[in-house]
């Protein structure tokens, strides 16, 4: 029987040499005359083990990693085809603690299947959600999603079902589903992994959203920095269209839904939903004032659902297994699972999908195994460039939208970037302001001007020019930006700045935190 | 080597690109991507053509082109090396890596080596944050870049 050998095609695996490894394996198979085939899967999300080669034996998958091209011949000599022992052998992949401790609902297939095999997708539970949705009324689909408690995984945490209901109830000849795949936050790669590792789940989720709201056209707006995701997604859409999943009659339902991929042009602010809509329309990525909400007047002034990749990719499992199944995971008002991305200076970086409620400390110290450098953790930034820096004293914070907000932080898109003690928090605060100055769309003054003034003020703090007054000025400036900015770009840039100042005052050359002004 | 493109040629080729893509909803960004793909940058001469074809003002097209970081107003070097400058890469020594690469190439960000070989650009996140620091050379991605790999990447870009 033909042995299947899996070598990921995920961009992170490629960045670590997966292509060379796949070529070397193909050469060995040919040279040794073996009965084996290579499957290019997505990544399991354990990046310290990439490239992770898996060999399927009696339905079990034995892992080897991290494999370099130079290791391949030796691995075949060691009997990799039969799960042979070698220093790189990890045993059965499913038994690795990092995977075993996860609850994979949204990422159930990622790293397991061939991302572009529809047969593989269906064999692993794919399309069951869409099949069920086809037999339901729009209102019932919306109710199911509402009951699941799913909230926007892009960062804002707005209930997905309510957004869908608004679009369903809005009058319009034409409605749109827009998938926000403009994943620009540092420390995040969940959207990329899904698009490269299980693109059909996003197509299925968007098709369900179309049926639920009466939208007939979908757009995935993603980043030019993600060429592999664009290629995989575009290919998957073509395959889905040929198979009748997309087109004039979704799975023979008589209802139309089709979609296409659009590529941004390097503007971070286009991750903000109204800027994204402008960009899709072919305009500058300038933020729009709300109201009107995109649900009423979105893309080309039509009612538009705009959801993050992970929100949409979580819908198929909800439709398949039911709202209650999904809602039973999590805590408080944060229901279901969240794919946390552990990045930066960590020993075990990767994607960890789990029910809401895990504490930041458990995640960083236990799951991620501490820093890659081996030095103590100094700070953890959760939620991208607009997220707060948390010190060790806040490690008891559970992953929950409200719990993070209560500590002046945010989950955002659930990226966690770990810094060791060598980090200079004044430098990080300055970077936050500098980044905002580079990426501001320019529409509102607090963001456009405030960010530049912020860089200047922080430079004066570093240079010890009237430091106490400058610190007060920085807090005042942050207050203006938080309350005066049109969108999260200017409104949340102060989060990393103030958290750095509050939790690491010594890096700013000041004694104790002065929280009064903030 | 200097590629000399006649003005009329740019207009004709731009018109052909617009004709292919104008049926799209919101066609301007896809057209600009294609124009940049065709010429290596968005030539000044292309903008009035696009404006005329899409019934936009020249100012509107100019505004869009200059808003987005991706669009160039002059050609890049033969190879483009992008270094990730965002937080996750910073936490793994990305700043030091940037200094090293700048020194090896003898240029700063947004500059091209004198021989026209390599353009160095910052990028804010390649989504390779769990294998930082990361870079992209002509669309190929690289992660966990150490000093030796940085030197190899620069040598590769120099070829």
Q: What is the ipTM of this complex?
A: 0.94
Is a pLDDT exceeding 50 seen at residue B16?
A: yes
DSSP 3-state of A93: helix
Q: Note whether B94 and B55 are same-domain residues.
A: no
Read off the pLDDT of residues A170-215 as tens digits, 9 standing for 90 and up. 999 999 999 999 999 999 999 999 999 999 999 999 999 999 999 9
Is a pLDDT exceeding 50 seen at residue B143?
A: yes
Give CATH for domain A118-327: 3.40.50.11540
**Does any domain span residue B15?**
yes
Q: Note whether B137 and B86 are same-domain residues.
A: yes
User: For residue B159, what pLDDT band results from cuts at 50, 70 and 90?
Assistant: confident
Q: Does B123 touch chain A (CB under 8 A)?
A: yes
What's residue A518's pLDDT?
44
CA distance linking residue A107 with residue B54, whole number of Å: 42
Model confidence, pTM: 0.96
**Does any domain span residue B2?**
no
| Mean pLDDT within A476-496 | 97
**Nearest Cβ partner of A227 from B125, B131, B139?**
B139
Residues 6+ apart with CB under 8 A from A314: A105, A106, A150, A153, A205, A326, A336, A337
The chain A residue lying nearest B31, using CA atoms, is A282
Read off the pLDDT of residues A240-299 as tens digits, 9 standing for 90 and up. 999 999 999 999 999 999 999 999 999 999 999 999 999 999 999 999 999 999 999 999
**Cα dihedral angle (A51, A41, A416, A435), rounded to 10 degrees?**
90
**Does any domain span residue B142?**
yes
What's residue B1's pLDDT?
47
Q: Note whether B83 and B15 are same-domain residues.
A: no
Mean pLDDT taken over chain A: 96
Give CATH for domain A425-508: 1.20.1440.230
Q: Does A189 touch chain B (CB under 8 A)?
A: yes
CA distance linking residue A509 with residue B4, whole number of Å: 56
**Does any domain span residue B13?**
yes
The total of structural domains in chain B comes to: 2
CB contact under 8 A, A417 and B142: no
Q: Give the CA angle between residues B120, B124, B130 to the nearest 5°.
A: 110
Is a pLDDT exceeding 70 seen at residue A513?
A: no
Q: Note whether B39 and B86 are same-domain residues.
A: no
Read off the pLDDT of residues B23-49 as tens digits, 9 standing for 90 and up. 999 999 999 999 999 999 999 999 999
Torsional sign, CA B123, B90, A155, A482: negative
Read off the pLDDT of residues B55-111 as tens digits, 9 standing for 90 and up. 999 999 999 999 999 999 999 999 999 999 999 999 999 999 999 999 999 999 999
Q: Does A506 touch chain B (CB under 8 A)?
A: no
Q: Note whether B84 and B140 are same-domain residues.
A: yes
Q: Note whether B99 and B152 are same-domain residues.
A: yes
CATH number for domain A3-100, candidates 3.40.30.10, 3.30.930.10, 3.10.20.340, 3.40.50.300: 3.40.30.10
Does this chain's domain A333-420 share its CATH topology with A425-508? Answer: no
Is a pLDDT exceeding 90 seen at residue A476?
A: yes
Q: Note whether B48 and B99 are same-domain residues.
A: no
- How deeply is A240 buried, as exposed, middle or buried, from its count of CB atoms within 10 A (0-12, 13-18, 19+)? buried
What's residue A511's pLDDT?
79
What's residue A256's pLDDT?
98
What per-residue string of b and e applies to B87-124 under the rule 16 or more CB within 10 Å gives b?
bbbbbbbbeebbebbeebbebeeeebbeeeebbbbebb
CA distance linking residue A209 with residue A199, whole number of Å: 16
- How deeply is B74 buried, as exposed, middle or buried, from its count of CB atoms within 10 A (0-12, 13-18, 19+)? exposed
Domain A333-420 belongs in CATH node 3.10.20.600: yes
The chain A residue lying nearest B92, using CA atoms, is A345
Cis peptide before B99 (omega within 30 of 0): no
| Mean pLDDT within A309-318 | 98
Q: Note whether B16 and B85 are same-domain residues.
A: no
CB contact under 8 A, B91 and A423: yes
DSSP 3-state of A192: helix
**Does any domain span residue B110?**
yes
**Does any domain span residue B73?**
no
Q: Note whether B95 and B50 are same-domain residues.
A: no
Q: Note whether B63 and B88 are same-domain residues.
A: no
Which A-chain residues 429-458 have CB contacts (< 8 A) with chain B? Answer: 431, 435, 439, 441
Q: Note whether B63 and B134 are same-domain residues.
A: no
The CATH number given to whatever domain includes residue B83 is 3.40.30.10
**Nearest Cβ partner of B87 from A183, A186, A191?**
A186
Could you list the residue range(s) of the whole structural domain that residue B154 is in?
79-158
CB contact under 8 A, B29 and A284: no
CB atoms within 10 A of CB B75: 17
């Amino acid at each position: 029987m033909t042995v299947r050998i899996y070598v990921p095609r995920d961009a992170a695996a490629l960045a670590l040499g997966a292509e060379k490894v796949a070529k070397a394996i193909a050469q060995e198979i040919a040279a040794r005359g073996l009965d084996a085939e290579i499957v290019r899967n997505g990544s399991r999300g354990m990046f310290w083990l990439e490239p992770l080669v898996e060999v399927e034996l009696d339905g079990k998958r034995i892992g080897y990693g991290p494999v370099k091209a130079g290791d391949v011949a030796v691995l075949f000599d060691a009997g990799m085809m039969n799960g042979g022992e070698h220093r790189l052998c990890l045993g059965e992949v499913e038994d690795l603690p990092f995977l075993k401790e996860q609850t994979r609902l949204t990422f159930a297939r990622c790293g397991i299947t061939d991302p572009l095999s529809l047969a593989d997708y269906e064999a692993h539970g794919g399309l069951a959600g869409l099949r069920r949705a086809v037999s339901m009324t729009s209102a019932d689909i919306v109710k199911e999603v509402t009951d699941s408690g799913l909230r926007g995984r892009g960062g804002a945490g707005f209930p997905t079902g309510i957004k869908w209901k608004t679009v369903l109830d809005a009058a319009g000849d034409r409605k749109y589903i827009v998938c926000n795949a403009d994943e620009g936050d540092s420390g995040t790669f969940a959207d990329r992994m899904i698009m490269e590792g299980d693109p059909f789940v996003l197509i299925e989720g968007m098709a369900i959203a179309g049926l639920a709201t009466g939208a007939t056209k979908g757009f995935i707006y993603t980043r030019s920095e993600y060429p592999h995701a664009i290629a995989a997604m575009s290919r998957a859409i073509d395959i889905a269209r040929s198979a009748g999943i997309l087109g004039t009659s979704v799975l023979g339902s008589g209802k139309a839904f089709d979609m296409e991929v659009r590529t941004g042009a390097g503007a971070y602010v286009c991750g903000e939903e109204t800027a994204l809509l402008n960009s899709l329309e072919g305009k500058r990525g300038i933020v729009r004032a709300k109201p009107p909400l995109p649900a009423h007047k979105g893309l080309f002034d039509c009612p538009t659902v705009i959801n993050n990749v992970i929100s949409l990719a979580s819908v198929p499992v909800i439709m398949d297994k039911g709202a209650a199944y999904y809602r039973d995971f999590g805590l408080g008002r944060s229901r279901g699972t969240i794919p946390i991305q552990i990045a930066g200076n960590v020993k075990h970086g990767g994607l960890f999908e789990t029910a809401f409620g895990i504490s930041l400390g458990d995640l960083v110290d236990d799951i991620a195994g501490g820093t890659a450098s081996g030095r103590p953790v100094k700070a953890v930034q959760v939620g991208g460039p607009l997220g707060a820096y948390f010190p060790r004293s806040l490690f008891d914070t559970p992953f929950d939208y409200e719990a993070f907000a209560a500590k002046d932080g945010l989950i955002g898109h659930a990226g966690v970037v770990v810094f060791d003690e060598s980090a200079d928090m004044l430098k990080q605060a300055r970077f936050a302001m500098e980044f905002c100055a580079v990426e501001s769309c320019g529409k509102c003054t607090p963001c456009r001007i405030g960010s530049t003034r912020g860089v200047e003020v922080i430079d004066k703090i570093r240079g010890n020019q009237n430091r106490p007054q400058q610190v007060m000025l920085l807090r005042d400036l942050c207050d203006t930006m938080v309350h005066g900015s049109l969108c999260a770009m200017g409104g949340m840039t102060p989060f990393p700045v103030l958290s750095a100042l509050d939790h690491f005052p010594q890096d700013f050359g000041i004694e104790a935190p002065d929280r009064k002004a903030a | 080597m200097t590629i000399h493109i006649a003005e009329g040629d740019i207009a004709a080729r731009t018109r052909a690109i617009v004709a292919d893509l104008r049926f799209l909803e919101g066609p301007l960004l896809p057209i600009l991507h294609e124009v940049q793909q065709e010429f290596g940058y968005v030539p000044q001469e292309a903008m009035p053509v696009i404006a005329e074809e899409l019934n936009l003002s020249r100012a509107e097209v100019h505004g869009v082109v200059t808003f987005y970081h991706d669009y160039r107003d002059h050609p890049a070097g033969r190879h483009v090396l992008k270094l990730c400058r965002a937080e996750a890469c910073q936490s793994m020594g990305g700043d030091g890596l940037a200094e090293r690469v700048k020194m090896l190439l003898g240029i700063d960000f947004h500059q091209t080596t004198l021989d026209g070989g390599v353009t160095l650009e910052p990028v804010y996140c390649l989504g390779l944050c769990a294998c930082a620091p990361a870079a992209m050379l002509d669309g190929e991605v690289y992660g966990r870049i150490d000093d030796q790999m940085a030197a190899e990447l620069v040598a590769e870009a120099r070829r």
